Amino acid sequence: MEAIVTQLAQELGRPAQYVDNVVRLLDEGNTIPFIARYRKELHGAMDDTVLRALEERLRYLRGLQERREAVKRSIEEQGKLTEALSAAIDAAATLAEVEDLYRPYKQKRRTRAAVAREKGLAPLAELLFAQGPDCPAPLEEAAKYVDPEKGVETAEDALAGASDIVAETLSDDADLRKSLRALLARKGRLCSAAAVEEDSVYRLYYDFAQPLSRIQGHQVLAVDRGEKEGKLKVSVQMDRDLALQALRRRVVVPGSRSMEFVKAAAEDAYDRLIAPSLEREARSALTEAAAEGAIGQFALNLKPLLMQPPVKGRVTMGLDPGYRMGCKVAVVDGTGKVLDTAVVYPTYNQRKKDEAIAVLAKLIEAHGVEHIAIGNGTASRETEQMAVELIRRMGAAGRSVSYMIVSEAGASVYSASKLAAEEFPEYDVNLRSAVSIARRLQDPLAELVKIDPKAIGVG
C-alpha cells in the first residue's frame, strides 16, 4: 500500500501525506464530491479534477497489484517461478505487460472428461451409458480397459474415467439442462446469510430465503450489494433430492446392469457441473431482471422531475444551505449566466443572520432578483426562515420577490464534476452547487441532464 501511495504522489506531484489521507477517505466510502467540499484540510485543497484522477489511478494500481500476485501464485504452483521472473512481474507497469509475462505459463483448460477420453475410455462410457439389454457388468467390462501405460491402473480407475465422461455428457445435454432450469425456476430459492458478525444495513438479509418465483427486484439488488460488500453469503438453492429424481427419470434405465453406475455419474454431474452452472445462470438472470425493473422505475420517477415547468427569463438567486461551510449564494440572469456570488452564515447567530439578510438584499437590489431557489438539504429550514424574513423586508421596500424549495440532490456531485470544472473554472465547488440550484428552478431539464443519473435522487 505504501508503494502505491508513493507512486500516486509522484505521478500527481502531491505530498504523500495528503495522498494517503485521500486513499483512506475513499476506502471509508466517502465520495469525491464530499472529499472535495468538506475535507480540504486533509487533502491540501486538491481540486475535484485531481481527486477524480487519483481515485481512478488508485483503482487501476490496486487491480494491477492483485493481478501480479495472482500470476505469481499460478506460476509458483507450477514450480516455474524464478527470482528474475518474479522481479519482472513486480516491475510490470501495466496489466498488458503482466499478461504478456504470464502467457507462456498460462494453463490450458483440460476437463476430467477430456483426460479420460485421452486414455481411451470413451467406448466404455458410451457402452455403460447406453444401458442396453446386453450391457455387461460395469466392473467386468472396465477390466478390459486397464492400461498402465495410459495411466489406467485398475478397473476402478477405468470406471472413474468413464463416469467423468458420462457426467460431462449429461452436463452438455441441452434438453436436460432446460428441464432442470425450469425446475429451478419453480422450486428454487434465493438465500442469503450473514458473512460477518457485526450489525449492518443488511441485517434483514442475514437469514433470508425467498422463492425465485416471488422474489422482488429490490431484494435481489440488496443481496447483490451485500455480497459485493462482503456482508452476505448468497446462493440459489433447490431440493437436491428433487433435482436428482428428475435427472434420474430422464437418464436411468431401470433394471439395467449399469443402472447404479449411471445413477452415480448423474449425481456427480449434478453436484459438480450442472448445479453450479445453473446457479450462476439464475443469479445472472435475477440481477438482469431486477436491474431492468429498477431502470423502468427510475424512468417513471425521473420523467416528472425533468418535465417540471421551467421559470425562464427571470433573474434567480440560488441558495445552497449549510452550517459549518455557510450558505452559498449565486445570482444568475434569465439565461443562467452567473452575475454574482457570495457566502453568508445565517445559522451562526442573530447578528450573522442580520448580516446575511443585508448581503442578500443588496444582491437583490443590484441585479433585480425575482425568484429565490433554496436547496432542500442541510440547514434548509433555517435558510427558508431567513428567506421569509428577507422577502418580508423587500416587500416593505416595494420589491416583490418569491421563493421556492428546490431538490438539491446531485448538486454536490455536479459541482465536483469535470463538466462543472470546465463550465465554472473560476468558482469553488461550493459556489458551483448554488449556481446549479438556481438553474434548476429556471430550467430543471437543462440542469439535471448534467448530473450522473444515480445522484439525481429518484431511485
Task: Please indicate, yes or no, whether residues 44 and 166 belong to a single structural domain of this protein.
Answer: no
Task: Please indicate, yes or no, whether residues 363 and 451 belong to a single structural domain of this protein.
Answer: yes
Indicate the residue among 76, 105, 134 that finishes a domain. 105
Domain hosting 21: range is 2-105
Task: Please indicate, yes or no, whether residues 441 and 372 belong to a single structural domain of this protein.
Answer: yes
Q: Look up residue 235 and give its amino acid.
A: S
Let me know if 322 is exposed, middle or buried by CB neighbors in 10 A (0-12, 13-18, 19+): buried
The sign one gets for the Cα dihedral 417, 418, 419, 422 is: positive
The pLDDT tens digits of the residues spanning 263-301 come to 999 999 999 999 998 999 899 999 999 998 988 888 888
Task: Please indicate, yes or no, whether residues 69 and 141 belong to a single structural domain of this protein.
Answer: no
The predicted pLDDT at position 453 comes to 80
Task: Please indicate, yes or no, whether residues 88 and 167 belong to a single structural domain of this protein.
Answer: no
Strand 327-332, strand 338-344: pairing: antiparallel
Task: Please indicate, yes or no, whether residues 53 and 95 belong to a single structural domain of this protein.
Answer: yes
Question: Is 307 within a domain?
Answer: no
pTM beyond 0.75: the answer is no
Task: Please indicate, yes or no, whether residues 80 and 132 belong to a single structural domain of this protein.
Answer: no
- Helical (H) or strand (E) element with 49: helix 48-77
Q: How many domains does the chain have?
A: 3
Give the other-Cβ count within 10 Å of 376's Cβ. 16
**CATH value at residue 399:** 3.30.420.140
Task: Please indicate, yes or no, whether residues 58 and 121 belong to a single structural domain of this protein.
Answer: no
In the predicted model, residues of the chain with pLDDT beneath 50 are none
**Lateral strand order in the sheet of 316-320:** 338-344, 327-332, 316-320, 371-375, 402-406
Residue with cell 495528503: 18
Task: Please indicate, yes or no, whether residues 10 and 87 belong to a single structural domain of this protein.
Answer: yes
**CATH value at residue 12:** 1.10.10.650
The predicted pLDDT at position 409 comes to 85
Question: Is 193 within a domain?
Answer: no
